[in-house]
Copies of this chain bind each other. A is one copy, B any other.
Amino acid sequence: MAGSTFGKIFRMTTWGETHGRGVGVVVDGCPAGLALCEEDIQKYLDRRKPGQSRYTTKRNEEDKVEILSGIFEGKTTGTPISLAVFNKDQRSRDYSAIKDIYRPGHADFTYDAKYGFRDYRGGGRSSGRETTARVAAGAIAARVLHEMGIEVFAYTRSIGPVTIDENYFSREERDRNALYMPDKEAASKAADYLEEKMKELDSCGGLVECVITGMPAGIGEPVFDKLSACLGKAILSIGAVKGFEIGDGFQASQAVGSENNDNFYNDNGKIGKKTNHAGGILGGMSDGSEIRFRAAFKPTPSIAKMQHTVTTAGEDTEISIHGRHDPIIVPRAVVVVESMAAVVLLDLLLQNMGSRLDAVKKFYDR
């Protein structure tokens, strides 16, 4: 029943709902000596903030993070780092109408089944707001990874039927448009597509892709805590995610071995791979090449279009969900995907340190 803690060595415990005092996270196991301040974390949270585009809701949340512990003279002390973002704009009247209704596609029904009742205001703990805490923790993990030359870069790969074209891929473009697509043309087309959906009082899904560079080889703990499995769990725990794949992913199920295998070769004295169908993970561990994975997001369940559903008493009824809801989750989720990946990578990097006796002896000067 304790499902709000993630990680083994670098570990985060999140708390908070849409309409409580706020959301937050306790990060335990962060190595001591990392320079860290609110701004390092705030810039990650800002990428989650709505109101940055016409397509994300205008809730005007001022997600301002506060560091409550674990830092001294600007550096992490190795003790738990408590971060909190206090709720400001709640307007609970938005949600009173749904108190006695099970919204389709939402967790209302399952939370009631599990706990016997639920905080019906805005989705409570099942709301996307909960991801703010994950992003705060991920920002810290990302800082540590950065110190080690490891970068995690995620972006919107597709919105509905509109997919980026790899030939026009540009990292800089990602942060220049509101949809976080690294392809200006695709972003424009996706924008049109979204306008259509909004007119139809509907929503749509999309894909987030993530690329990780700089990882050493051998990271991951077979057989159950493989890097692929840990990343999968992390990403699938994000609300609205219905699929996860690494490298060629589902395409690999239709490939043949001679094409899917990444052949090793002598790359100027280093061992390289001619291709990367594996997505950088082999035998469940990083192989030193670029790690690539994708997450499939279903459409936002809250739509203004009329839907059939039931009341909590089980009677047929209809519902049209008004208020402030995104027609698409994906752009806000990009930084959440990056954050979850960063936490997994750091946790496994720390777990890996005890793999070899010679390295353990060297570490302790014995």
Contacts and interface: CB of A to CB of B under 8 A. Distances in A.
Contacts of A301: 257, 260-261
A241 to B, nearest CB: 8
Nearest to A201: B258
Given A261-B301, A360-B349, A242 B245 contact: yes
Q: Is the interface of A mostly helix, strand, loop or mixed?
A: mixed
A105 B360 contact: no
A138 interface: no
Nearest to A315: B266
Most buried by B among A66, A200, A254: A254
Contact of A28 (B3, B250, B314, B355): B3
Interface stretch (A50-58, A175-183, A304-312): A304-312
A243 B242 contact: no
A357 B222 contact: no
A10 B2 contact: yes
Interface string A197-223: 100101111110000000011111111
Interface stretch (A40-48, A75-83, A184-192): A75-83
A226 B237 contact: yes
A97 interface: no
Given A3-B224, A5-B5, A102 B264 contact: yes
B2 A77 contact: no
Contacts of A249: 242-243, 296
Contacts of A217: 109-110, 113-114
A366 B144 CA distance: 11
Given A233-B232, A250-B245, A349-B364, A355 B115 contact: yes
A118 to B, nearest CB: 7
Contact of A110 (B287, B300, B309, B354): B287
A253 interface: yes
Contact of A308 (B207, B255, B265): B265
Most buried by B among A113, A114, A241, A364: A114
A299 B256 contact: yes
A218 B32 contact: no
Nearest to A81: B15
25 contacts: A1-B10, A3-B220, A3-B223, A3-B225, A4-B222, A5-B5, A14-B223, A15-B28, A15-B81, A24-B69, A31-B360, A33-B117, A33-B356, A75-B117, A79-B125, A84-B84, A105-B257, A114-B356, A115-B218, A226-B236, A242-B245, A242-B278, A242-B279, A256-B299, A349-B364
B5 A11 contact: yes
Interface string A77-117: 11111101000000000000000001011111111111111
Contact of A1 (B230, B252, B307, B355): B355
A105 B262 contact: yes
A68 B83 CA distance: 13
Contacts of A34: 357
A220 B109 CA distance: 13
Contacts of A32: 114-117, 355-357
Most buried by B among A31, A71, A81: A31
B2 A263 contact: no
Contacts of A1: 9-10, 28-29, 31, 78, 221, 350-352, 354-355
